[in-house]
Amino acid sequence: MSRVLLLNSDYEPLNICTLHKAIKLIILNKADVLHYSGESFVSGGGLTFEIPSVIRLNYKAKKRFRNEFKVSRYGIYARDNFSCQYCGQKHVDLTLDHVYPRHLGGITSWQNLVTCCKKCNYKKAGKTLDKSGMKLLSIPKPPKYSFNAILSKSGGQIDEHWKYYVVI
């Protein structure tokens, strides 16, 4: 599936969208193509399109405020730099941990979820931090808007045309 860099009307990077979303914005005249990928064509509804690489909205879109980001597993992993927030080790086998356990009334929120290795999760065993004797390396907070976080959705693969618009 192709990914397309979506720019605001002032050429500020907003997001990485799917090819489907990009084509829809182009058809509805809500966006213009700035660069094509040079790859194969997509046909649908009797129309043929070259695959875009970068599109720009024809209107100014407001950026989301940080309290609008939905809590997600990948979002927590990215915020915590894919490392355990108790021992600091980077693990392939990470889990999510509720700092204040759910069975004690803890909620699923940015402030109550951290990444945790299975060893530390087992050690904490559904207890509070005080009762388990464990400490967090950093206080969990909602993420701020960062295009680098959005860029991580691309799996580290950046189109050559994107480099002109994105500061890495």
To the nearest whole percent, how much of the chain has pLDDT over 70?
85
**Average pLDDT of every residue of the chain:** 84
pLDDT (tens digit, 9 = 90+) per residue, 19-64? Answer: 889 999 999 999 999 999 887 776 777 777 789 999 999 999 877 6
Query: Residue 66 has what pLDDT?
Result: 47
Helix (H, G, I), strand (E, B) or coil at 74: helix
Query: Residue 95 has what pLDDT?
Result: 92
For residue 47, report the phi and psi dihedrals to the nearest 5 degrees.
-110, 150
Burial grade of 150 (CB within 10 A; 0-12, 13-18, 19 or more): middle
Burial grade of 61 (CB within 10 A; 0-12, 13-18, 19 or more): middle
In one letter, which amino acid is 108?
Answer: T
Closest residue by Cα to residue 90 from 62, 63, 71, 117 = 117
Cα atoms found within 13 Å of the Cα of residue 41, Cβ hemisphere only: 6
| One-character DSSP codes across 103-160 | GGT---STTTEEEEEHHHHHHHTT--HHHHT---SS---PPPP-HHHHHGGGTT---G
pLDDT (tens digit, 9 = 90+) per residue, 98-120? Answer: 999 999 999 999 999 999 999 99
Q: What is the pTM of this model?
A: 0.54
Domains of the chain: 3-63+145-164 (no CATH), 66-132 (1.10.30.50)
